Chain A
Amino acid sequence: DQQVKQNSPSLSVQEGRISILNCDYTNSMFDYFLWYKKYPAEGPTFLISISSIKDKNEDGRFTVFLNKSAKHLSLHIVPSQPGDSAVYFCAASFQGAQKLVFGQGTRLTINP
């Protein structure tokens, strides 16, 4: 049972344009959502998070949007840079459980 889904295995974006990565979830108990970035042979690096009481959180070039009614969140990166090329994982958790449930990841490639 895949509670967190990233339906796009890969995404290609031109440098300088906006990258939009999407994530859907099925468990309405989730109340905390995170995005991680992962390079090959390294551990996931925390990027940005959002609590279910908010619908938007921004940090520099990264913005996460949460649509609770649609059970959907997205990560916007603008402008995209070559160093953003990596696999991006969406993750969710809920109070009392602490464990993170991850999506399958989306491989983002930024083309010069």
Chain B
Amino acid sequence: NAGVMQNPRHLVRRRGQEARLRCSPMKGHSHVYWYRQLPEEGLKFMVYLQKENIIDESGMPKERFSAEFPKEGPSILRIQQVVRGDSAAYFCASSPTRAGGHSETQYFGPGTRLLVL
């Protein structure tokens, strides 16, 4: 049973380019979350998605960042016109369908390390 998969594992972009990060949740999981970790800091929530729906994007920067989780295929975190401050590790997590509104454990992928030159 494969875990959460993310690709690429490492991504180098020059300032002004676009970065696309992909995440495939664990089999049977319908909820996807994106987190960002800056050096020497904890993980910070960015966005929570279900298939074809953004449920909570309260942690997403207002500009340049977008996320989607289409009916078919992986979830995509897209960063347009990257700047040096976007350099970080981006982690995707997934969880199964919530039972009765209770919180479910989130399982993380290996992350994508983005470096903006």
Contact = CB atoms under 8 A, between A and B. Distances in A.
Contact of B48 (A45, A46, A99, A105): A99
Contact of A100 (B55, B98, B106): B106
A89 interface: yes
Most chain B CB inside 10 Å of its own CB: which residue of A31, A36, A98: A98
Interface in B1-57: 4, 6, 31, 33, 35, 41-45, 48, 55-56
A63 interface: no
Interface in A69-112: 89, 91, 93-105
Contacts of A51: 102-103
Interface in B79-115: 91, 93, 95, 98, 101-111, 113
A104 B111 contact: no
Interface of B: 4, 6, 31, 33, 35, 41-45, 48, 55-56, 58-59, 91, 93, 95, 98, 101-111, 113
> Top 8 A-B pairs ranked by shortest CB distance?
A32-B103, A43-B108, A102-B42, A99-B45, A102-B43, A104-B42, A44-B108, A43-B110
